[in-house]
Each structure stands twice: as C-alpha cells, then as structure tokens.
C-alpha cells in the first residue's frame, strides 16, 4: 500500500487522522468506519476514541507539500484542500 493513500478509499489521504494503534485514514473515512463499530478498520483493535480524532498535522503538511495540485483543488476524495 502506498504510504500516502487511505486504505479505506484508496485515495490520497485527506485530513489524515491516526488511530492509537498507529493506522492512518482520511478523517471522513474513519468517521464512517466508526458508524459500524468501535474497532480500527485495519487491525480491528478496539478503539476508545470518538469519531473526531485530530488531524495528524505533520502528515497533512507533508501531503500538502508533496501533492500541492491535489491539495489545492480538493480532488482527493472530492473534498476541500488542506489547512
């Protein structure tokens, strides 16, 4: 798997959030996954977190610098750009 891709939507990470078990997903993908249970969508570790994890800022900044054309136009996931 590409380190820059969400394993749920298979697109460039948008507003990346990282779970306590270390897996990273797009914020909206993670929120949708939690609609179906309170486990990590990747490893099934039980998560004791809410739907709104904070954006992993360092990763968001790296994505913005490495993929500025995607981040500016919001093509990743059809949503807006990074901070």
60 alpha carbon, distance to own chain's centre: 9
pLDDT at position 82: 43
pTM confidence score? 0.79
Give the contacts of 75 (CB within 8 A, at least 6 positions apart): 69
| Higher per-residue confidence, 52 vs 29 | 29
Q: What angle do CA 33, 57, 7 make, to 5 degrees?
A: 35
- Give the Cα separation of 14 and 64 in Å (integer): 10
Rounded average pLDDT over 1-9: 87
33-82 pLDDT tens trace: 999 999 999 999 999 998 789 999 999 999 999 888 775 444 444 444 44
pLDDT at position 3: 85
**Nearest alpha-carbon partner for 16 in 64, 75, 69:** 64
pLDDT at position 62: 92
């Amino acid at each position: 798997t590409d380190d820059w891709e969400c394993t749920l939507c298979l697109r460039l990470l948008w507003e990346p959030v990282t779970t306590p078990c270390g897996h990273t997903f797009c914020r909206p993908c993670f929120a949708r996954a939690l609609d179906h249970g309170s486990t990590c969508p990747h490893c099934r570790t039980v998560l004791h977190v809410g739907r709104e994890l904070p954006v992993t800022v360092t990763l968001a900044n790296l994505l913005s610098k490495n993929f500025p054309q995607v981040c500016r136009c919001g093509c990743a996931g059809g949503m807006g750009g990074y901070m």
